[in-house]
Amino acid sequence: MAHELNRHTFDAVMVPNYAPGAVIPVRGEGSHIWDQDGRSYIDFAGGIAVNSLGHCHPELVKVLTDQANKLWHLSNVWTNEPALKLAQQLCQMTFADKVYFANSGAEANEAALKLARRYSVDKYSADKHQIIAFDNAFHGRTFFTVSVGGQPKYSEGFGPVPEGISHLPFNDIQALEKAISHHTCAVIMEPIQGEAGILPADPDFIRRARELCNQYNALLIFDEIQTGVGRTGELYAYMRTGVKPDILTTAKALGGGFPIGAMLCTDEVAQAMAVGTHGSTYGGNPLGCRVASRVLELVNDRDLLDGVRERHLMFMDGLDELNDRYHLFSDIRGQGLLIGCQLCDQWQGQARNLLVQAQDAGVMVLIAGPDVLRLAPSLIIPPDDIHTGLERLGQAMVQFLHTRTEEA
Ligand SMILES: Cc1ncc(COP(=O)(O)O)c(C=O)c1O
C-alpha cells in the first residue's frame, strides 16, 4: 500500500545524517511494534536502550497525560514539583547529592565535562584542565562530547577540536598510570562501552582509575547513559563495581522514551556550577521529570532488577543455541539486557546486513559498529516475546547465510 508519508519523504525533506530503515513504525505496545502496513515486529532494540519499560507502558502514559493536563513548561526561571521530586529520588537512590537536568545524554555529558573543568580551574589552577578519555568511547554528538569521545570519525571534518583531551587504550592500567597527572581534571569512562561493541571495563581498571583520581585530585566521571536505569540488572552499573564516581551522567532509559538527561554529582563538586555558569531552557521540564520519576519508581525494584538478570540468561541460552547451529558469532557478551554478539572474522563488517535480515524476519535489533549485533530490549520484555524474537533472529541468520553464500 502506498502511504502519503513514506521513506522517500525522508530523503526529500530531511537532512541526510541518518539512514533509517525501510519500514515506518506507527504504533508500539510492550515489546511489539507495528508498521504502516500493520506488520508486527518484536522489539529487541528498545529505541537504543531507551524504552526501558517497553512501548506505551500504561503507568507512564497515565502520568504523562496527567501532567499534560496540569503544567508543561516553565523554564528555569521557576522550579517545578516533578523536577524537585525526581532530583530527590536520584539523590536517595545513588551516591549523588545534587542533580542538574538536561534533555539528552550529550547535554548531560556536556554539563559534566564543563563542571569538571570549572571545578578544577576554580579550586586548583587554570592549567588543571586535562580530560582523560578512552579509545572508541562514545559520549554524544555535541562538539565537546565528540571531541572527548574516542571515535575520530565523529569529530573529524569540523575544524579545530577543543584542547586538553587525551585518549588512552581502554582497560590499560599502565597507560592510565602514565598519562594521569596533577594537570588532569577528570577521567571519563563508560562502565560498558556501548557504541564500541559492548566492551565492559575491567573491575581492576575501574578500581585503579578511582585510586589514581584520588591521588591526583581528578574527578571520576561515569557515563551511564547506556548502562543506567536498570539495564545491567542494577539501577546503575557502578553499583556492581564497589566504586563510586564523582559525577555520573544518565539519560536514554531514564525517561523510558521521553527525552530527558541528568548529571549527578557530589555536593562539593556541584558548588562550582554557580548561578549563571550553565543552563538549558528545557532542562528539568515537568513532563519529562514526571515520567522519569515513575520510571525510577518502577525500575528501582529488586524484583524488576532480578528479572533483568533472569532475562539475560534467557537471551544468552537462546543466542548460544542459535550460534551452535549457525556459527555466526565469535563472542556473545554483555550484562543484563545490554548484549553484544561479535561476528566471526569471516563475517566482519556484516552486522548491518544481519540487522536488515532480522527486520525482514520480524525482529528489530541494533548494531554497535560494523561487527557487532546489539540487543537492548525492554527490561520487562515477556519471556514469550524473547523466544519468538530469537526464533525470528534464527530465521534471519539462515537467510543471512543463504544470501552471503549466494553472493560469494
Ligand atoms: C554512553 C553514551 N553516552 C552518551 C550518549 C549520547 O546520548 P544522546 O544521544 O541522548 O545525546 C550515548 C548515546 O548513544 C551513549 O551511549
Give the other-Cβ count within 10 Å of 15's Cβ: 6
195 lines ligand 1 (CB under 6 A): yes
Per-residue pLDDT of the chain (408 residues; tens, 9 = 90+): 689 999 999 999 999 999 999 999 999 999 999 999 999 999 999 999 999 999 999 999 999 999 999 999 999 999 999 999 999 999 999 999 999 999 999 999 999 999 999 999 999 999 999 999 999 999 999 999 999 999 999 999 999 999 999 999 999 999 999 999 999 999 999 999 999 999 999 999 999 999 999 999 999 999 999 999 999 999 999 999 999 999 999 999 999 999 999 999 999 999 999 999 999 999 999 999 999 999 999 999 999 999 999 999 999 999 999 999 999 999 999 999 999 999 999 999 999 999 999 999 999 999 999 999 999 999 999 999 999 999 999 999 999 999 987 776
List the residue whose alpha carbon is closest to atom 4 of ligand 1: 139
C-alpha 38/C-alpha 103 separation (Å) is 32
Q: How many Å lie between the centroid of ligand 1 and the Cα of residue 250?
A: 9
Ligand 1: residue of 226, 248, 374 to mutate (most ligand atoms within 8 A of CB) is 226
C-alpha 348/C-alpha 105 separation (Å) is 29
Which atom in ligand 1 lies closest to the alpha carbon of residue 227? 1
**CB under 8 Å to 47, separation ≥6 — which residues?**
257
Give the other-Cβ count within 10 Å of 391's Cβ: 16
Q: Given 3-state DSSP classes, what are the helix, strand and coil percentages for the chain, each rounded to the nearest 5?
A: 40, 20, 40
338 lines ligand 1 (CB under 6 A): no
Q: How many Å lie between the centroid of ligand 1 and the Cα of residue 406?
A: 37
pLDDT at 404: 80
Ligand 1: residue of 17, 48, 52, 139 to mutate (most ligand atoms within 8 A of CB) is 139
pLDDT at 1: 63
257 lines ligand 1 (CB under 6 A): no
In order, the DSSP letters of 210-231 are: HHHHHHTT-EEEEE-TTTTTTT
Cell of 119: 571545578
Contact status, residue 147 vs residue 155, Cβ threshold 8 Å: yes
Q: How many Å lie between the centroid of ligand 1 and the Cα of residue 139?
A: 5
pTM above 0.85, yes or no: yes
Q: How many Å lie between the centroid of ligand 1 and the Cα of residue 361?
A: 28
Cell of 278: 550553565
Cell of 322: 542459535
110 lines ligand 1 (CB under 6 A): no
